[in-house]
Amino acid sequence: MRNIFGQGAAFALALLLAACSGGDAAKGAGDAGKPIVVGFSQVGAESEWRTANTTSVKAALAEPEFRLKFSDAQQKQENQIKALRSFIAQRVDVIAFSPVVETGWESVLREAKAAGIPVVLTDRAVKVSDDSLYATFIGSDFVEEGRRAARWLLEDSKGRAGPVRIVELQGTVGSAPANDRMKGFREIIDADKRFAIVRSQSGDFTRAKGKEVMEAFLKAEEGIDVLFAHNDDMAIGAIQAIEEAGLKPGEDIRIVSIDGVRGAFEAMKAGKLNATIECNPLFGEQLAGLIRDVAAGKPVPRRVQVAEGVFTRDQAEAELPKRKY
């Protein structure tokens, strides 16, 4: 452009044009007019919990200040790594993801850091050598959820003689919720010699696999007293297997599970599930706030927890109409 003005005037004109045209020079992510581009990699759609979590996240990031690029990994780590690499190539402003398993993230997170893209962990945590590879983690305390399941069982077993023979449906192998719920549950029941876990196998957080593994447990084990399921979907699948074996779920075999989804309240109302430990998926708004702050370069807490409770069979009927997921 021929300089028909003085040098200073040309520079001012360039800034003014950039500000009007929305060029990069005048705006950062999230400034008025320029949306925060968020790459979100979700585990999959394996359970009622996951579906509710996706709905909550998508609703919060549908606001005009965000532009969401959403990827469903179908519970495969390689799909999540591919999605994260694609977000990096597209130079999104923030990456958020729920890691399907705890390990194997070091290199892709280093690539995000090298690209200057902050990462927010949602729902599940990762094990990495360098905590600076992610800005913050919002999710539940899975160890405490395992402890709460065991505390319910001890309370419900007052006055019962041992042995109390427990079978356990684990979540996805290597996932933070499976590892931590297992740990928390054992921390409490190991203190009482009446309790023994006689079988423990993964049902991968799905109803179908939960039913299949419970069928195998029932064939292999006489006298199962309790099922501890790492999520309600596997418990609901196991309930079908227990009934098909001619036993009464909730009576012949007491069942405690985790999530607090609608299906669990319906099963408790029917007397087939004894207790569910809430694991709140509805943190979309909190996540949006963290992403907004991270995009603006503001400090955020390293760990953000979600509030949750414990619900038993006798509360189910009154609670069901209030449930939001």
Residues of this chain that interact with ligand GZL (CB under 6 A) are 46-47, 49-50, 123-124, 139-140, 177, 205, 231, 233, 258-259, 279
SS3 state at 212: helix
- Of 185, 186, 98, nearest to 145 by C-alpha is 185
Between 113 and 240, name the residue whose CB sits nearer to ligand GZL: 240
Between 206 and 274, name the residue whose CB sits nearer to ligand GZL: 206
Q: How far is the CB of 232 from ligand GZL (least distance, A)?
A: 7
Between 27 and 262, name the residue whose CB sits nearer to ligand GZL: 262
| Residues near 69 by beta carbon (within 8 Å), at least 6 away in sequence | 37, 38, 39, 40, 87, 90, 92
Residue 60 gets which letter from DSSP?
Answer: H
Between 165 and 185, name the residue whose CB sits nearer to ligand GZL: 185
Between 47 and 170, name the residue whose CB sits nearer to ligand GZL: 47
Q: How far is the CB of 281 from ligand GZL (least distance, A)?
A: 7
Pair 275, 310: CB distance under 8 Å: yes
Residue 93 gets which letter from DSSP?
Answer: S
Q: How far is the CB of 139 from ligand GZL (least distance, A)?
A: 6
Q: How far is the CB of 183 from ligand GZL (least distance, A)?
A: 15
Between 37 and 40, name the residue whose CB sits nearer to ligand GZL: 40
Q: How far is the CB of 237 from ligand GZL (least distance, A)?
A: 12
Helix residue ranges per DSSP H, the chain: 7-21, 48-60, 77-89, 106-114, 142-156, 176-189, 207-220, 232-244, 262-269, 284-295, 316-319
Pair 41, 71: CB distance under 8 Å: yes
Q: How far is the CB of 146 from ligand GZL (least distance, A)?
A: 11
SS3 state at 69: strand
Distance of CA 79 to the CA centre of its chain: 17
Pair 147, 166: CB distance under 8 Å: no
